[in-house]
Chains A and B, each alone.
Chain A
Amino acid sequence: MAADPYRLAEGGRIDRSRPLRFRFDGRDYQGFAGDTLASALLANGVRIAARSFKYHRPRGVMGAGVEEPAVLVELKGDAASGNRPATTVPLTEGLVARSVNAWPSARFDIGAANQLAARFIPAGFYYKTFKWPDWHLYEPSIRRAAGLASAPKEPPQGAYEARHAHTDLLIAGAGPAGLMAALVAGRAGARVMIVDEGTEAGGALLNRCLTLGGQPALDWVAAVVAELAGMENVIHLQNATVWAYREHNLMMVQERAPANSSLLGRNWRVRAGQVITATGAIERMMVFQGNDRPGVMLASAAQAYVNRWAVPPGRRAVVFTNNDSAYAATADIARAGIEVAAIVDARDGVPDHSRALVPGIEVLAGQAVTSVRGGRRVRAVSVAPIRGGADRQLDCDLLAVSGGWNPAVHLYSQSRSKIAWNEGLATFVPDAPAQAVRAAGAANGAMELDRALQEGVAAALAALGDLGRSGQVPELPGSDDLPYTVSPLWTAPGAGAKSFLDIQNDVTVADIELALREGYSNIEHVKRYTTGGMGIDQGKTGNVNIIGAVAERQGKSPDEVGVTTFRPPYTPVEFGAIAGRRAGPVVLPYRHTPLTRWHKNNGAVMYEAGARWRRPGYYRRAGESFQDTVNREARTVREGVGIYDGAPLGKYEIKGPDAGTFLDWIYTNVMSSLTVGNGRYGLMLTDDGLILDDGVAFRLAPDRFLISTSTGNADAVGQYMEKLLQIERPDWRVKITNVTSQWANATICGPKAREVMAAMGSDIDLSPDAFPFMAFRDGHVADLPARVVRVSFTGELSFEVNVRPRDLPALWKAAMAAGAPFGIAPVGSEANHVLRVEKGFLSLGHEVDGTVDPHDLGMSWVMSKKKDDFIGKRSVELRRASGRPRRELVGIRPLDPNRQVPEGAPLTPGGRKEATEGFVTACVWSVVENRWLGLALLTDGRARIGGRAHVRLPDEVIEVELCDPIFHDPKGERLRS
């Protein structure tokens, strides 16, 4: 194991008493607690830590935080994850990481051969080539050559949590502005949540050597953090990022290291009354030839490495800037022992306060770095006057660059609030808010510490005011921070094919120029064509430079060019954190009936059958195939008696003086004429006159009805009825109560059903005359209070015995015992499907697919001619008036009786490759005809009964005979028996 030979002897916010071992690209290293992977790599002299996305160019660490565009790593082991900026990975004992997009390592990468072909693979090259014969032929290898980390193959060892929170004020960022805002709001008693992406609070103060009130600024940070920790009304999260800003101030926060050690991470969904984005600012790159060479680093990052991690990222530095902030950075790195060869400042005039920070260091004003020397790392830079003149070479191994600062407006923009160009700062700053949000500090363009603190106070007071509270202005400590001025330099002289605007996506100045030449002049098109600003870093260091470069080339101002959309996530988020605990067996809700245990114990194969219900599909017995089982169960019902669990059927009580009127309005037929104790089958239509649902309505009392709905549509129909009453007919006196789960039923069906009912014992007269089809009776069955309904989904004599769910197991047990002499057997939904197809009954999701009306299904009889109106009536009449052909329900029998037709298969004229004229809605092995048969929706189908149609499959055509869609008991004598 190597030591960390590049570490300064003292200083930094690391714990030197806690050395940590880690492994990177197959080599062992050592760092300290408090390091990031990036700082530890630099401390160990690892300069090439990554390969670029497209050209596999060598890359080194460029940033110190979330802005890092170059070094993405893949973590291994228990914490496996991909595409993590090395600057955001806290070092832990035993950490194992590798660079992405490099093989076998970043130091020696086979893919570096791509650099030889760089001129042939400019932006959008894959749009122009690889078209013949098929893009998909090339796609896999292109994707392999470019790219990022692969997803872990195994689920993480541990769990994530997703939780909700509410707060009066959410503050994104615990830098000076955010901390000050939290202090003011917290002292005022508001519920405050302050969230910061760093491992400790302080923001940019952690990286700099500033004072507040004459004391080190970090002392002030520590005091504020301590005071906030003592406030019960404040939640303070570090190592947590506000990664998305949604509607109505719903904020998404990813907490990476929750206090609960059993959690890998936690995602918060925070509903905030007010939001302050105090997210700081991100330094821009400078754009010149070779600006991606290892050794080129943001000046603020170099400053952070010496101050925070005691790591000098080089021995001899050149600083290239266009603004004042780099001078403080230069002073800090010089103080750490790095020799500074010169400061190259693109501005003609350098403020005296900046020069005063770097006495003795040469300042080359009005000049620019035009290129970098060195193959695998910076060895020297060429410097030339911007207005022309001879260049000069400066030896160095570190080039610290600062192209100015961009407020981190990502969250503010995600809130759909406007951002606007600020000429003085040469960047975009927050403008008019679209939600209850304010920006403060550097995120709002207040680049100096004193102004940042003032803005934190002002934002908090304004937010408190909007919350109906008031706060106190605290004492503001004065700082020694200096003014910030900038004069943009979007591209240095000679910038071209190796001048990178977007480091992460390998987008160069030449790519932008190509896009513009090819007519992609809108900035959104430039982004899509070049991919500049996309990817994991979402253009944090590159976006504004791209806009500036485009503006420069179009002769416009950046304001006229405009900005692209900032999209969440602000930083990468693990899918696991979003899912939280809802993974594996609970990823989706499932519903059980009271008989689930019985079904499972008796061999049922359970699966979802609408609205999340898990129901028995079939009860396989030893030696049976699937088809054997279904046939046996279907024959049981046709020839003897079966029983099925009908608990999931939707049920609603409709009560009130206008209940009948309401039902007449939502059903196509008349329900208000029902007499107490009787029911009627009906259809509900949508406003478009298409079938929404089917069911049966029973009249329980003069002002009270019970309606049933299909299982899958139960909730939707309930919401639909409520909506109609609350919005369209609020004057109607109707009350709806969902009783789906108050009544469960066992349906006893088949020719011997009455005998079984009698054997169970009932005080209800079960004779056909006393208890006819479509009637219900309240009484007792097997000594249990029950409501028995005579409806049939199978086409056989059926008794639907409804009881309280708590009683259903007892009822079922009694039915099985009483039915045993009659050969009763449970039947699943597969057999039910066969039975209803034989009878020609419709099924939602099969024949009712959202395109059919009752006439299409041969159910014109259900369309009342007596009623003036009902929902969907006008639409049906309008559509019918057009006279256009419709797809109509028909029965089909394959000419080969043993040939099954796949459900959903298309019907085409003559089986030719033409537009479909319908499709097969169902196909089953019929136990009454001992052959395959089915139902189909076919254009002008009814008129074609007796003819033939053709099912077109990928490799064959099946000819079918068209017939009436009722195969069994067309007169309905059996179900009425």
Chain B
Amino acid sequence: MPYDVTITRLPLRALFDLKGTATALAAWCGTALPPFPDRPNSRMEAAGRGLCWTGPDRWLLMAALAEEATLAKALRSEQAPDDLSVTLVSDTLTFFAVTGPDATEVMAVVTPLDLHPDIFPQDGAAWTEAFGIRSATRRIAAGYEIAVDRSYADWFEESLRRAST
């Protein structure tokens, strides 16, 4: 009996790797960024843009691919101050959505991350492991979204398919 899930490979999106303190980044990037997450492994969203905590003084900005050029212009990575790093990384990750009634069942196969709502609430987002490789996982409305290095995408998609059947 296959699990009742849908696996969807998602299109590219605009991604920026940000390094530096929230204060310094907020000062440099201004209104281009959503508010900074106030705790580890969480995410804030505003105006269709999401900002994930990925480590101490490390963040990942996500937006629709159509916003890539606009954001690049706003974030001015090449002019960023010494203590900040702003790097366009849109092509580094491939995103998958795991949605449906059994999404959590399948995710238990995919990742060792504790997905209990008390531990990984609706705004949860974390760099973790999926099928043994590095991945970014977050909750979405009907399930979960997982991102892996682009080069692993074909293998990962096949692994997801097997886990759900």
Contact = CB atoms under 8 A, between A and B. Distances in A.
A joins B in a complex: yes
A593 B151 CA distance: 6
Interface string B98-126: 00000000001101111010010000000
A46 to B, nearest CB: 35
A591 B151 contact: yes
A586 B17 CA distance: 30
Interface residues of A, number: 47
A737 B92 CA distance: 11
B159 A582 contact: yes
Contacts of A592: 151, 153-155
Contacts of B26: none
Pick the most buried of A586, A612, A656, A701: most chain B CB atoms within 10 A of its CB. A586
Contact of B155 (A162, A586, A701): A586
Interface stretch (A163-171, A485-493, A629-637): A163-171
B151 A261 contact: no
Contact of B92 (A580, A648, A739): A739
B78 interface: yes
A269 B116 CA distance: 15
A262 B155 contact: no
B12 A806 contact: yes
B158 interface: yes
A590 B91 contact: no
A648 B153 CA distance: 14
Given A161-B109, A271-B112, A804-B91, A735 B85 contact: yes
B142 interface: no
A596 B155 CA distance: 13
A740 B87 CA distance: 12
A260 B153 CA distance: 27
B48 interface: no
A582 B131 contact: yes
B163 A589 contact: no
B6 interface: no
A703 B82 contact: yes
A591 B114 contact: no
Given A163-B109, A741-B92, A589 B152 contact: yes
Contacts of B17: 737
Contact of B88 (A159, A655, A742): A742
B27 interface: no
A581 interface: yes
A165 B158 CA distance: 22
Interface string B1-27: 111000000001000010110000000
B85 A655 contact: yes
Nearest to B85: A735
B151 A613 contact: yes
Nearest to A700: B78
Contacts of B83: 656-657, 733
Contacts of A582: 131-132, 159
B19 A737 contact: yes
A165 B152 CA distance: 25
A165 B85 CA distance: 36
A646 interface: no
B39 to A, nearest CB: 19
Given A657-B82, A701-B78, A742 B90 contact: yes
A540 interface: no
A805 B158 CA distance: 21
Chain B: number of interface residues, binned into ranges: 35 or more
Interface in A645-669: 647-648, 653, 655-657
Nearest to B106: A163
Contacts of B152: 589-591, 612
Contact of A166 (B89, B116, B158, B159): B116
Given A163-B109, A269-B112, A742 B92 contact: yes
Nearest to B134: A715
Given A164-B112, A585-B158, A656 B82 contact: yes
B45 interface: no
B67 interface: no
A742 B150 CA distance: 9
A742 B77 CA distance: 15
Contacts of B114: 166, 271
A262 B165 contact: yes
Interface in B122-165: 131-133, 149-156, 158-159, 162-163, 165
A191 interface: yes
Contact of A653 (B85, B155, B162): B85
B150 to A, nearest CB: 5
A591 B155 contact: yes
Nearest to A590: B155
A137 B90 CA distance: 62
B132 A589 contact: yes
B138 to A, nearest CB: 17
Interface string A576-616: 00001110011001111100100000000000000011000
B150 A805 contact: yes
A404 to B, nearest CB: 41
Nearest to A659: B82
A582 B91 CA distance: 26
B87 A741 contact: no
A648 B1 contact: no
Interface string A138-181: 00000000000000000000010111111000000000000000
A804 B90 CA distance: 9
Interface centre among B2, B19, B85, B153 (most CB of A within 10 A): B85
Contact of B109 (A162, A585, A704): A162
Nearest to B162: A581
A650 B91 CA distance: 15
Nearest to A162: B109
Given A262-B165, A591-B151, A591-B155, A737 B85 contact: yes
A735 B19 contact: yes
A737 B116 contact: no
Contacts of B108: 163-165
Contacts of A806: 12, 91
A869 B90 CA distance: 37
B82 A733 contact: yes
B111 A164 contact: yes
Interface in A917-971: none
B116 A191 contact: yes
Interface in B38-97: 78, 82-83, 85, 87-93
A806 B89 CA distance: 12
Contacts of B131: 582, 586, 589
Given A589-B132, A741-B91, A262 B1 contact: yes
Given A586-B159, A592-B154, A735-B19, A805 B111 contact: no
Interface in A540-598: 580-582, 585-586, 589-593, 596
Contact of B85 (A269, A581, A591, A656): A656
Contacts of A648: 151
A739 B16 CA distance: 11
Closest 6 CB pairs of A and B: A591-B151, A735-B85, A166-B114, A741-B92, A164-B112, A163-B108
Interface of A: 159, 161-166, 191, 260-262, 269, 271, 580-582, 585-586, 589-593, 596, 612-613, 647-648, 653, 655-657, 701, 703-704, 733, 735, 737-742, 744, 804-806
Interface of B: 1-3, 12, 17, 19-20, 78, 82-83, 85, 87-93, 108-109, 111-114, 116, 119, 131-133, 149-156, 158-159, 162-163, 165
27 contacts: A164-B109, A261-B1, A262-B165, A581-B159, A581-B162, A581-B163, A589-B156, A590-B154, A590-B155, A591-B149, A591-B152, A612-B152, A647-B151, A656-B82, A657-B83, A735-B20, A735-B85, A737-B85, A737-B87, A737-B89, A738-B92, A739-B89, A740-B92, A741-B91, A741-B93, A742-B91, A805-B91
Given A271-B114, A656-B83, 15 more contacts: A161-B109, A164-B109, A164-B113, A165-B108, A260-B1, A580-B109, A586-B158, A589-B155, A593-B151, A612-B152, A653-B85, A656-B82, A735-B20, A741-B91, A805-B150
